[in-house]
Amino acid sequence: MPSGIQILKDENCKTDRISVGIELNPAAKIAQNRINLFEKSGYNYFYLKEINSAGSLSDFVSLLSKEKIFLVKKEEGPTNLLRLVLNDFNVNSSPIVNITFGITGKIDETEIIELAKMIPDSIISNSTAYYKLERVIGKQLYRGNKNFIANISPPSFSDDFCAFLVFIKLINNRNLKVRFSPETAPSPFLIYLSEDKISLLAEQPEKNEIEKAITNVSNWLTVLFLQENRSRFLILTASMGVEEKVVKKWPRRIKNLKESDILYIWKKYLTSGFVASLDTTLILKVQEIFPESDIIE
C-alpha cells in the first residue's frame, strides 16, 4: 500500500489466521497502559496479540487511529544503539517503521485492506535506512548506566546468517540476556552484561556447546514452519526481505554447519568489534579482556 503497509495472503493454508507485525522507530516506546496488546519478538519488533478475527483487528485499528499507543522520545547518551553506531540517526518522528499483515485461510483480504486504509499515514515512517547498517569493527566503550555490548547482525540473505542464528543461541545458552530481531536483519543485537559474566565473552564455545545450539535453532525452525504459524511466517520472511524458498533451506544449512563456521562468526561479530554502554566498573573489566578498546567520552 502507499503508506508502506504490506498485506500478505496464503490461500493454500486452510486455517483462518491473522497476524500483525509492527516494527517501531528505535526511539519509540509503547504506552504503559497498552503494552499488553503486544508480544515482543526482538530489538524493536512486536506482534499484535490475540488477533483472531477482522473484528478484533478493527478494534486495534480504531485504537491506533485515536489514541497515542506509541510515544516517541529522543534518547540521549549511549542507551540507543543506533545513535551510537551512526552518531546521530535522524529518523522522522513517526513511531512505526512498518506494519505487515499476514492472513491465511478464508480471511477476506478486501476487508483487511479497508481496515489498513484507516491507519493514519502520519504514524508510519516507512523508513528503511538502517537496514543498510554494517557491523561494528573495533571496540568502542561508552560510559552509560545500561550495561550491554552490541553489534549489527548480518543481512538475512548473507552466507553468515544461519551461523549467526546459532551464535545468538550460544550466547543465550550461556545465560546472557540477548535482544535481537531476526525479522529485520541487518539489525542491532544487544548482549546485556554483569560483572560475573564478562569473562564469558572471551571464552570460545566448545564443540558440545555448538552442537546444542545447532539443535536448538533447528527445533525453532521446525516449529516456525508449522501450518498454525503460517500467517506469522509470511510476516517473518517479508520483513527480513528473504524469499520463502531461501528460508526453507536453512534447516539443512544449519545442520551442516561446522565448528569452524561458528568460531568464525564468534570472532567476526563479537571479539573483532562492538559498541558497549557500560558503567565504570564494567569498562575496566572489559578493558582487561580487550585492552585495545577505545573509551569514547
**pLDDT 10s digits, 82-96:** 555 544 445 557 888
Residues 6+ apart with CB under 8 A from 223: 229
Whether residue 62 is contained in a domain is answered as: yes
Q: Are 136 and 185 part of one and the same domain? A: yes
Q: Are 164 and 195 part of one and the same domain? A: yes
577505545: which residue's cell?
294
Whether residue 27 is contained in a domain is answered as: yes
The amino acid sitting at 65 is S
The backbone torsions φ and ψ at residue 114, rounded to the nearest 5 degrees and listed phi first, read -65, -40
- Residue 36's pLDDT is 94
Most distant CA pair in the chain, distance = 60
Whether residue 232 is contained in a domain is answered as: yes
Q: Are 64 and 205 part of one and the same domain? A: no
**What does the alpha-carbon distance between residue 212 and residue 249 come to, in Å, rounded to a whole number?**
20
Residue scoring higher pLDDT (163 or 136): 163
Q: Are 121 and 142 part of one and the same domain? A: no
Whether residue 10 is contained in a domain is answered as: yes
The amino acid sitting at 222 is T
Reading the block at residue 19, the C-alpha cell is: 497476524
Reading the block at residue 196, the C-alpha cell is: 560475573
Label residue 295 by pLDDT band (50, 70, 90). confident
Residue scoring higher pLDDT (231 or 53): 231
Q: What is the pLDDT of residues 12-42, one digit of tens each?
A: 888 889 999 998 877 788 999 999 999 998 8
Q: Are 59 and 183 part of one and the same domain? A: no
Whether residue 271 is contained in a domain is answered as: yes
Q: What percent of the chain has pLDDT over 90?
A: 42
Q: Are 127 and 137 part of one and the same domain? A: no
- Range of lowest pLDDT (80-89, 101-110, 232-241, 273-282): 80-89
Q: Is residue 6 packed enough to be buried (19+ CB in 10 Å), middle (13-18) or exposed (0-12)?
A: middle
Segment 117-123 shows an average pLDDT of 87
Could you give the 3-state DSSP secondary structure of residue 249? coil
Listed residue (74, 9, 56, 42) closest to 187, CA to CA = 42
Q: Are 145 and 166 part of one and the same domain? A: yes
The number of domains in the chain is 2
Segment 105-114 shows an average pLDDT of 91
The backbone torsions φ and ψ at residue 5, rounded to the nearest 5 degrees and listed phi first, read -70, 135
Q: Are 140 and 55 part of one and the same domain? A: no
**What does the alpha-carbon distance between residue 151 and residue 81 come to, in Å, rounded to a whole number?**
9
Segment 161-171 shows an average pLDDT of 96
Q: What is the DSSP letter of 297?
A: -
Q: Where is the domain boundary, 116, 131, 146?
A: 131
- Residue 81's pLDDT is 58
**What does the alpha-carbon distance between residue 8 and residue 243 come to, in Å, rounded to a whole number?**
13
Q: What percent of the chain has pLDDT over 70?
A: 91
Mean pLDDT, all residues of the chain = 86
- Residue 285's pLDDT is 92
Q: Are 214 and 264 part of one and the same domain? A: yes
Q: What is the DSSP letter of 147?
A: -
Q: Where is the domain boundary, 131, 160, 180?
A: 131
Query: The domain containing residue 146 runs over which residues?
Result: 132-296
Whether residue 1 is contained in a domain is answered as: no
Asked if residue 68 lies in contact with residue 103, where contact means CB atoms within 8 angstroms, the answer is no
Category of 137 on φ-ψ map: left (φ > 0), alpha (ψ -120 to 50) or beta? beta
Q: Are 220 and 115 part of one and the same domain? A: no
